[in-house]
Amino acid sequence: MSVMAEHVFDIGPIHVSNSMVLGAIGWTVTFWLLIRTARRIGARRYDRLSLAVLWAYEYLFNTAEEVLGSRELALKITPIAITMFFFILVNNWLEILPLLGTVTWHNTPLFRGLAADLNFTFALAVVTFATAHIWAIRKLGFFGNLKRYFRNPFKDVLGAFEGFLELIAEFSRFIALSMRLFGNIFGGEVLIAVMAFITSYFSVIALPPFMLFELFIGLIQAYIFFMLTVVFVSLGIAHNEAHATPGVEEEAAQQAGSLAAGEAT
């Protein structure tokens, strides 16, 4: 098992790696799932799958509303955050399929978990931070957003130092966000491979509990990615509104702050 995704074949100028193959399947499944749910709910023909997706959506939406502190804002941010949740969830669950390491193409595995490729998690972190900064710029203005990090050291010495720390924290959050998802999913793949190796003939009995554990980890990681996306957006916005209307907004900012403080370690 290699740390990097391996190159499998080319489509024109695009180098297709083995994580992209499974990623395309995962993208198709996610698209099908969400479109199907939307159609079923629109036509009022409920079945178990669409109700489960709807339940998950409502739960996530309520969480986002709680963190952001306003329903309109939650309605605007949840499309990207919840789509990310379902995309990561489907890809994490596809990674448990038994054909993952065994199907090969010219001696390289044809499939590999999408989140077990650092390129993907890094790209997701880029999307998350772009979203957070676009919202911060919308609320605070371009220079208002910069003022969170760069302040005049001659006027406000402590504030300048605080802004510098904030800038470092932003980078460390960025790295931690991409490494967390990658590490968990790649670590899970390695765990299953090692377990299959050391329990050779008994792996039929030994592996299912670990696979269940991986399903749980995949769900938790998708939820955490969603949660952190919402928290980062709310961090950029809360700066402004904590001054304007103390009360509800301040509480949300505090909640977001304490969550982010736990995350930034």
Backbone angles phi, psi at 99, to 5 degrees: -80, 10
Smallest gap from residue 10 Cβ to another protein (A): 25
CA distance 8 to 17: 5
Smallest gap from residue 222 Cβ to another protein (A): 11
184 touches another protein by CB under 8 A:
yes
Residue (of 29, 82, 95) closest to 55 by Cα position = 82
Q: How far is CA 88 from the centre of its chain?
A: 6
- Among positions 202-241, residues that touch another protein (CB under 8 A) are 220-221, 223-224, 227
Residue 8 vs 259, nearer CB to another protein? 259
Residue 92 vs 221, nearer CB to another protein? 221
- Among positions 159-178, residues that touch another protein (CB under 8 A) are 176
- Tell me, by CB under 8 A, how many residues bind another protein: 21
Residue 179 vs 207, nearer CB to another protein? 179
Q: Count Cβ atoms below 10 Å from residue 5 Cβ, excluding itself.
A: 24
Which listed range, 107-115, 148-156, 186-194, 207-215, lies at the site for another protein (CB under 8 A)? 186-194
Residue 47 vs 251, nearer CB to another protein? 251
Residue (of 1, 7, 2, 24) closest to 105 by Cα position = 7
Residue (of 69, 157, 137, 228) closest to 148 by Cα position = 137
**Whether the Cβ atoms of residue 224 and residue 180 lie closer than 8 Å to each other:** yes
262 touches another protein by CB under 8 A:
yes
Q: Count Cβ atoms below 10 Å from residue 213 Cβ, excluding itself.
A: 13
Kindly state the greatest CA–CA separation across the chain: 70
Smallest gap from residue 244 Cβ to another protein (A): 28
Tell me which residues touch another protein (CB under 8 A). 1-3, 176, 179-180, 182-184, 186-187, 190, 220-221, 223-224, 227, 259, 262-263, 265
